Chains A and B, each alone.
Chain A
Amino acid sequence: MSMTVLDGRFTEALTRVRDRLAGRGDTVTGIGLWLLIAVLVVGSAAGSTQLFVVGVIVGSILALGALGLTLIYGVLKFGNFAHGDMMMMGAYIAFFFLTGQVARTSREDTQLPWSLDSLPHAVDGIGDLTFGYGLIIAALLAAAAMALLSIALDRLIYRRLRRRRSGIVIFAIASLGVAIAVRSLMFIIWGPDPRVYVSGIHRAQHYPFGVVLKTDQIFIFAVAVALAVLTYLLLFHTKLGKAMRAIADNPDLARVSGINTEQIIVWTWAVGGALVAVAGVLLAVQSQINPLLGFVLLLPLFAATILGGIGNPLGALAGAMVVGIAQEVSIEFFEPAYKPGVAFLILILILLVRPRGLLGAKI
């Protein structure tokens, strides 16, 4: 047997071993990550129950944003950097419908003659909630407005880029431009000061395991879960949702099958816009409305989406929970100002060890 043949066989065997190890390595990383997450979740749930519960609530808000982000990525194949600012815009639009306030000068608000809070009993708290039906209507209007705004932005900007067959980087940079424009618009219309839907101090309720929560927070979690379930039903049990998944899977084949992809893209923006608007309102109920918060949110939103596997809706939910909990529980150890740093750390870690995410398809 000549040396070259032997050599060839040796290289072949080596390649085979390496391939097999690489395949197993991926599974090991996956299992390791899930285990690590399980340990962190159980540990924080037992160690600092209060922060853990708040983390779950923040996570459920992030989940709605991440769902929209991952859907838009799946169908349009670009990361929408405007998503955080769109979230804040949704919160502001609800604020606008509720109070009718816009800031004309930096110090004084202009009160429009109509607003939802002037309706009878619109601001009386429902049960133990701090807000009344006025905010719920305002949130629905904001969801509709953000759906329309997202579609309008697609017509104005992204559809033109699609027609020119622009690359993914152009799309991402364009969305960064949209983010800056939306943020500036919020500054211009409502000014730089933070806003709240309901002012004053609200009492919290005591729950077992020393957990203290406002009823508002339970409402936030319930709404987020309900919307996540609705999105799941949309994606897996309606023709529209299946078409969205089909385009995410294979856009060329979707076109060949006779799916009108432009029409599905419009619906994707509508769903993503509505979800992110509600997420914004829920966040504002949990903390406040602030024109700078959108940019801060971008990091946890992307961390959640990429952790779950970009383009995978179930992954986005799981990722958002992990990021939400990690951010809140980190307060135990670091200053709260470092919360975005925690999201950043998760993002870097996942990109290093498993870029396709927990539930993402193999690249």
Chain B
Amino acid sequence: MTAVLQAQAVVSGYGEVEILHGVSLTLNEGEIVAVIGPNGAGKSTLLKAIFGLVPVHAGSVQLLGRDVTNLSPDRVVQAGMSFVPQTDNVFPTLTINENLEMGAFVRRDGLHDRLERVYGLFPDIASRRGERASRLSGGQRQMLALARSLMLDPQVLLLDEPSASLSPKMVDSIFDKIAEINQGGTAILLVEQNAREALSFSNRAYVLATGENRFEGEAKSILDSEEVGRLYLGA
């Protein structure tokens, strides 16, 4: 298996405050990997550091064999990685079509084909392409946010709590969609509060606590592990 994304001993934080004290993880081709852990473990910060939104003070991030440590987000996007933030992940006053167009901002060509491919994946929003994103429901917004991140057909996708604040029914369809995207060949690294659900459809998982790696392994074995269950899954 080849690694598409590798974070090595990443130290990162906001200003003087250090949140990650040397976190490492690997995402292989075709995998879905979950990062779970209690609140304040640094899960979101890890994604942001990987994506160049929060400075990496030490350690490195490799994407498709290329060093992308502290590269600006527009460069990271060009290198083949997209990111869907947890909240505020659409442009509310822009139309759905314009939201998707912004997802392909770094490219000049092939906008029409990209739009049609993404609309094919998300038929629900395709019929409303001229409407403002603010008129969409919570679930549809999440779909639009996913769609935007797929405009450049990224090889690696980072998802920050894709199921947060959605109804149980919507959570299922979002996870189905994520699995479908993964089947299309995109490797996915996702942070989830909804740990059991996330583990049930991930290949592997990392457990983070207080900015450090605690456990890693097959998703199934983590799900079965008594210690992890007691400490982090609220069993």
A interface residues, Cβ below 8 angstroms from B:
239, 242-243, 245-246, 248-250, 252-260, 361
Partner of B85, one of A239, A256, A361: A256
Partner of B102, one of A243, A248, A252, A361: A243
Decide if A249 touches B91 in the complex (CB within 8 Å).
Answer: yes
Residue of B nearest to A311 (CB): B93
Residues of chain B from 82 to 139 with CB closer than 8 A to chain A in the complex:
83, 85, 88-94, 98, 101-103, 105-106
Residue B77 interfacial (CB < 8 Å): yes
Residue B78 interfacial (CB < 8 Å): yes
Decide if B91 touches A239 in the complex (CB within 8 Å).
Answer: no
Decide if B94 touches A245 in the complex (CB within 8 Å).
Answer: yes
Interface SS of chain A: helix, strand, loop or mixed? helix
- CB neighbours (8 Å) of A242 from chain B are 94, 98, 101-102
> How long is the Cα–Cα vector from A260 to B74 in the complex, in angstroms?
6
Residue of B nearest to A361 (CB): B93
Residue B204 interfacial (CB < 8 Å): no
Max chain B Cβ within 10 angstroms of own Cβ: one of A243, A253, A258: A258
Residue B148 interfacial (CB < 8 Å): yes
Residue B206 interfacial (CB < 8 Å): no
- CB neighbours (8 Å) of A252 from chain B are 53, 85, 88
| Known contacts A242-B102, A243-B102, A258 near B74 by CB under 8 Å | yes
Given A253-B88, A257-B77, A258-B74, 19 further pairs, Cβ under 8 A: A243-B102, A245-B93, A245-B94, A249-B92, A249-B93, A250-B90, A252-B53, A253-B89, A253-B90, A254-B102, A255-B53, A256-B53, A256-B73, A256-B83, A257-B148, A258-B77, A258-B105, A259-B74, A361-B93
Q: Separation in Å of the B231 CB from the closest CB of chain A?
A: 32
> How long is the Cα–Cα vector from A171 to B78 in the complex, in angstroms?
32
Chain B interface size, as a band, is: 20 to 34
Residue of B nearest to A248 (CB): B93
| Known contacts A254-B102, A256-B51, A256-B83, A249 near B77 by CB under 8 Å | no
- CB neighbours (8 Å) of B92 from chain A are 249-250, 361
> How long is the Cα–Cα vector from A249 to B94 in the complex, in angstroms?
8
- CB neighbours (8 Å) of A254 from chain B are 91, 102
> How long is the Cα–Cα vector from A361 to B91 in the complex, in angstroms?
13
Q: Separation in Å of the B61 CB from the closest CB of chain A?
A: 16
> How long is the Cα–Cα vector from A258 to B89 in the complex, in angstroms?
13
Partner of A253, one of B76, B78, B85, B152: B85
- CB neighbours (8 Å) of A259 from chain B are 74, 102, 105
Q: Separation in Å of the A166 CB from the closest CB of chain B?
A: 14
Decide if A246 touches B78 in the complex (CB within 8 Å).
Answer: no
- CB neighbours (8 Å) of B102 from chain A are 242-243, 246, 254, 257, 259
Residue of B nearest to A245 (CB): B94
Decide if A253 touches B91 in the complex (CB within 8 Å).
Answer: yes
The 9 nearest A-B residue pairs measured at CB: A258-B77, A249-B91, A258-B106, A258-B74, A257-B102, A259-B105, A260-B74, A246-B102, A246-B91
Max chain A Cβ within 10 angstroms of own Cβ: one of B53, B105, B148: B105
Decide if A255 touches B93 in the complex (CB within 8 Å).
Answer: no
28 A-B residue pairs with CB within 8 Å: A239-B101, A239-B105, A242-B101, A242-B102, A245-B94, A246-B94, A246-B102, A249-B92, A250-B88, A250-B91, A250-B92, A252-B85, A252-B88, A253-B85, A253-B89, A253-B90, A254-B102, A255-B73, A255-B74, A256-B51, A256-B85, A257-B77, A258-B76, A258-B78, A258-B103, A258-B106, A259-B102, A259-B105
Decide if A245 touches B91 in the complex (CB within 8 Å).
Answer: yes
Residues of chain B from 33 to 89 with CB closer than 8 A to chain A in the complex:
51, 53, 72-74, 76-78, 83, 85, 88-89
- CB neighbours (8 Å) of B152 from chain A are 258
Residue of A nearest to B152 (CB): A258
Q: Separation in Å of the A362 CB from the closest CB of chain B?
A: 10
> How long is the Cα–Cα vector from A253 to B53 in the complex, in angstroms?
11
Residue of B nearest to A256 (CB): B83
